[in-house]
Chain A
Amino acid sequence: MSDVVEKTLTALPSLLSLDSQPGSAKLSSNSKLGNLIRGITELTSKHEEEKLIQHELSSIKEQVSSPNTTMRQMRELMVRAVYCEMLGYEASFSYIHAIKLAQQGNVLEKRVGYLAVSLFLNENHELLLLLVNTVLKDLQSTNLIEVCMALTVVCQIFPKDMIPAILPIVEEKLNHPKEIIRRKAVLALHKFYLIAPNQVQHIHNKFRKALCDKDPGVMTASLHIYLQLIQENAEAYKDLTASFVTILKQVVGGKLPMDFNYHSVPAPWLQIQLLRILSLLGKNDQRTSEVMYEVLDESLRRAEMNHNITYAILYECVKCVYTIHPKSELLEKAATCIGNFVLSPKINLKYLGDSTDFSHRGRCDDSTSTNIMT
């Protein structure tokens, strides 16, 4: 861990409680939350906490109902209401004001309004319908920041009955010149698929387009949909195996821009996602498995670095090797890898090694079984 990170990590707890923040006196809009958190931290009994929060909630309730409260103040009130609900004290009187904040606030206030709505409401809440108009308006805004936040909230919470009203606009965003908008539009479609799969049946070709998008972020977003689709019906997507293999090859080969790296490892969570997809496609299918042996071999080889995230990739790789149609050289390498995990002094690695399912042992040839046994 870098020194800077260490410094911040020790500072983090105080950041979160605003205890000794230099310059916090300037932050009048946040000191009320800071005071509240500090107050809660100092209490020792549940009873005292209840008293303090109820007092806070009455104060918030009074202020949100006042016509003199500005959107700026409303934003701060909503964050305090979020905090109270987070501790388990219901603040349903504030829900409607969160929606209003999203409707009427400036960019930051709007974002906090949307955030509060996503934290307060559930999928079936009646107030959610009120959000739809605001979302529709923001989706068509010339301000891309507003489009982004509307798409973000759609990904989080949206009434499924209103999907037809919003789907055409979201589909349109799939062609937007900015990658962040295309990416969030794909994630919105993922959400729609999760809550109402039949509503997005007709646009599967658009998922393919996203998979082939020149921006890696948009492509990655499509993988969430594909993982879901393939889990439900792997057969229908076997023809995409070569595409996933190619993508993984490119990622492992360092073809992505540097900022996709995490501690010098290229897009590790993306690699893991791809390995999961390949596992599902290659299972019980020799022909499909053969397409992926080379890239799996390379992934096993490349992961030489001594970092947790590399081990996480290796672990996923090994799981894939064990799941698909067996290839002895790969199984041997995987077994060595697991052996190293099990013997590692690092307790987290040992856990992974121990938890690997060896029920596939029966499929190995004799030489590999011996490797695993020792």
Chain B
Amino acid sequence: MIKFVLMVNQQGQTRLSRYYEPVELSRRAALEADAVRCCLSRKKDQCSFVEYKDFKLVYRQYAALIIVVGVSDGENELSIYELIHNFVEVLDKHFSRVIMFNLDSIHIILDEMIQNGHIVETNKNRILAPLTAINKMVEG
């Protein structure tokens, strides 16, 4: 299962975090900083999967943004690696049509894709349908 999704910048500042199992607020910043440090210190010739504590990190860098997904052992790392890319492609599809940015919109999109740590939707049209419908209703 997926334990958490993080989007951080290269300075390690969290831009988005979503947890799928309870982690106390006070522990999150440290966990995020540590996990990101782990990923950022990887060399170019190392793979995108890091064994971290008793689970794994799958990370993928897009320009100055790094997306890190914590997954339990036994998860198909490459499928998560591509899930990250699917997520980015969905964001691309949505934000290329909409000028404004909302932290909430990104969360709403992520919510359509992952629930309870499981991948529940990967069809881009279906992922975006609820948000598009909401925005349409508000504009109209």
Contacts and interface: CB of A to CB of B under 8 A. Distances in A.
B72 to A, nearest CB: 13
A50 B83 CA distance: 34
A194 B95 contact: no
Given A12-B63, A262-B122, A351 B101 contact: no
Contacts of A311: 78
Of residues A8, A22, A23, A224, which shows the largest number of chain B Cβ atoms within 10 Å of its Cβ? A8
Interface string A49-73: 0000000000000000000000000
B48 A348 contact: yes
Given A180-B129, A190-B116, 19 more contacts: A8-B91, A13-B64, A16-B16, A24-B100, A34-B101, A40-B13, A79-B102, A79-B103, A187-B120, A224-B116, A259-B126, A268-B122, A269-B83, A269-B122, A312-B76, A313-B79, A316-B76, A347-B45, A351-B49
A272 B82 CA distance: 13
B: contact size bracket: 35 or more
A295 interface: no
Interface in B92-117: 92, 95-96, 99-104, 107-108, 111-112, 115-116
A149 interface: yes
Contacts of B123: 217, 259-260, 267
A293 interface: no
A222 to B, nearest CB: 11
Interface in A69-95: 75, 79, 82-83, 85-88, 90
Interface in A113-154: 115, 118-119, 122-123, 145, 148-149, 152
A350 interface: yes
Contacts of B122: 260, 262, 267-270
Contacts of B7: 16
Q: Among the interface residues B118, B133, B135, which one has the most CB atoms of the partner chain A within 10 A?
A: B118
Nearest to B63: A10
B40 interface: no
SS class, residues of chain A in contact with chain B = helix
A106 B91 contact: no
Contacts of B49: 348, 351
Contacts of B95: 8, 15
A347 B46 contact: yes
A8 to B, nearest CB: 4
Contacts of B99: 21-23, 27
Central interface residue in B76, B78, B111, by most chain A CB within 10 Å = B78
A88 B11 CA distance: 17
A90 B26 CA distance: 8
